[in-house]
């Protein structure tokens, strides 16, 4: 069926079976490959996106769910995400980099909601994003750093 998606404030008219998971619609049909496939069962977080500001594992929801809503992916930009990128850069966070799109999106969701996250807040918010290289400590530091940068700018 014909589906209209809004991703990072751009419209995409695509042809897809309505039950196609959003992940594969974004990656294979729209062609934005920054959002990753990791497990296919909403466990690893590599496919994390924001839908109307809410953190969603895109491998686990049908594309039809996102119609009429605003989808935000790693290809997008927001004030929070830019502070996170700066902190990620400063802390040299990624190793293989594959999970980092999902990590950054999950961290964006966290900082959009909690301006001064504690270690515990970060652990809770990020516990659904697996990093096989084990960059967790650098991620945690970078989130604190990004929060500080963001709060300073307010």
Partner 1 sequence: MSKIQQVNRRDFVKLIGLASGGILLGCNVSSSQKEFVPQEKGTFTPNLFIQIQKDGTITLLASRSEMGQGIRTSLASAIADEMEADWKYISLKQATGDAKYGNQNTDGSRSVRTMLLPMRKMGATAKLMLISAAAKKWNLAETDCEAKNHHIINKITGDQIFFGDLVDEAAKVEVPAQELLELKKVEDFKYIGKTLKSIDLKDFTHGTAGYGIDVRIPDMKFAAIARCPVTFGTVKSFDQKAALETIGVTEVFKLERMVPPTGKFFGALGGVAVIANNTWAAFQGKMNLDIEWNYGENKSFNSVEFQEKLKKRVHQKGKLVSGSTGNVSAAFKESNNTIEATYTVPFLVHAPMEVPNATAWFKGNEIEVWAPVQDPQTARAELAHFFEIPLENITVNVTFLGGGFGRKSKSDFVVEAVALSKKIKGPVQVVWTREDDIQHSFYHATSVQYLKGSLDVNGQVTGWLQRVGLPSIVSSFKPMSDYASGFELNQGFTNNPYNLTNFRLENVKAESHLRIGWMRSVVHIHSAFGNNSFVDELAFAAKKDPFEFYLNLIGEETMNSYLFGKN
Task: Please select the residue that binds partner 1; options are 3, 5, 7, 46, rule is CB under 8 A.
Answer: 46
Task: Please select the residue that binds partner 1; options are 4, 9, 10, 17, rule is CB under 8 A.
Answer: 17
Task: Please select the residue that binds partner 1; options are 3, 55, 106, 131, rule is CB under 8 A.
Answer: 131
The Cβ of residue 33 has, within 10 Å, a number of other Cβ atoms equal to 14
Min CB(125)–partner 1 separation in Å: 18
Distance (Å, whole) CA 150 – CA 154 = 7
Min CB(120)–partner 1 separation in Å: 25
Does 64 help bind partner 1 (rule: CB under 8 A)? Answer: no
Measured in Å, how far apart are the chain's first and last C-alpha atoms? 44
**Bridge partners of residue 11, in order along the sequence:** 6
Does 20 help bind partner 1 (rule: CB under 8 A)? Answer: yes
Distance (Å, whole) CA 49 – CA 74 = 8
């Amino acid at each position: 069926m014909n589906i209209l998606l809004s991703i990072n404030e751009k419209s995409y008219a695509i042809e897809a079976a309505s039950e196609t998971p959003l992940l594969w619609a974004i990656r294979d049909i729209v062609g934005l490959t920054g959002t990753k496939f990791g497990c296919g069962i909403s466990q690893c977080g590599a496919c994390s996106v924001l839908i109307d500001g809410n953190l969603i594992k895109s491998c686990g929801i049908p594309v039809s769910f996102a119609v009429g809503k605003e989808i935000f992916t790693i290809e997008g930009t927001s004030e929070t995400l830019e502070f996170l990128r700066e902190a990620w850069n400063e802390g040299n966070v990624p190793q293989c980099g594959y999970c980092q799109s999902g990590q950054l999106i999950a961290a964006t969701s966290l900082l959009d909601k909690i301006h001064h996250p504690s270690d515990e807040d970060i652990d809770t918010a990020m516990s659904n994003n697996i990093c096989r290289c084990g960059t967790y400590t650098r991620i945690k530091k970078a989130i604190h750093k990004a929060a500080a940068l963001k709060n300073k700018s307010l």
